[in-house]
Copies of this chain bind each other. A is one copy, B any other.
Amino acid sequence: MTDHPLKTLIEAADRAITAEDFDTLMDFYTDDAVLVIAPGRLATGKAAIRDAFVAIAAYFGNSVRVSQGDMQVLEGGDTALVIMETFVHSAGPDGKEVTETRRATYVFRLDGDTWRCAVDNSYGTTLLDQSAPSTGAE
């Protein structure tokens, strides 16, 4: 079985995150994409998403590495929901690698023959663990 094109794409985006190549990373997003930085904190649009990735890299002492596990792709025409096991590796306080496992939800749109990410929510359905519901506004 060959990998789904979105698997290849997400792996390339992960490499860009690890390399802190944020210009390349922005090619993976639609112009008006939204990123969940943390539950309740959103970045909307490429400029804000780029700033967020720079801040996240600095927060983790430039040690972030992202990798992926199992994935499920649900395609409805030019729109796809990806459900994906995501591992966020970073250096802990003692320098040893710490790994956080998430079940992410990514929404991609087909733009010509290129899939681009419109919603990047690595927190998946755990957003519902928050007490105050949000309606997507900052």
User: What is the minimal beta-carbon distance from A9 to any residue of chain B, in angstroms?
Assistant: 13
Complex formed: what's the CA distance from A121 to B125 in Å?
12
Contacts of A103 in B (CB 8 A): 125, 128
A51 within 8 A of B: no
Supposing A70-B133, A71-B133, A83-B105 touch, asked if A31 and B77 sit within 8 A by C-beta, the answer is yes
Complex formed: what's the CA distance from A36 to B76 in Å?
11
A99 within 8 A of B: no
- The DSSP consensus for interface residues of chain A is strand
A134 within 8 A of B: yes
Q: Which A residues have a C-beta under 8 Å from some C-beta of B?
A: 1, 3-4, 7, 30-34, 36, 42, 44, 70-77, 79-81, 83-85, 103-105, 107, 109, 118-119, 121, 124-125, 127-128, 130, 133-136
Contacts of A32 in B (CB 8 A): 76-77
Contacts of A70 in B (CB 8 A): 128, 133
Q: Does B136 lie within 8 Å of A34, measured CB to CB?
A: no
Q: Does A105 lie within 8 Å of B81, measured CB to CB?
A: yes
Q: Does B42 lie within 8 Å of A83, measured CB to CB?
A: no
Q: 8 A-B contacts, Cβ less than 8 Å apart?
A: A30-B79, A44-B76, A70-B128, A72-B136, A74-B119, A76-B119, A85-B128, A125-B125
Supposing A1-B135, A136-B73 touch, asked if A83 and B118 sit within 8 A by C-beta, the answer is no
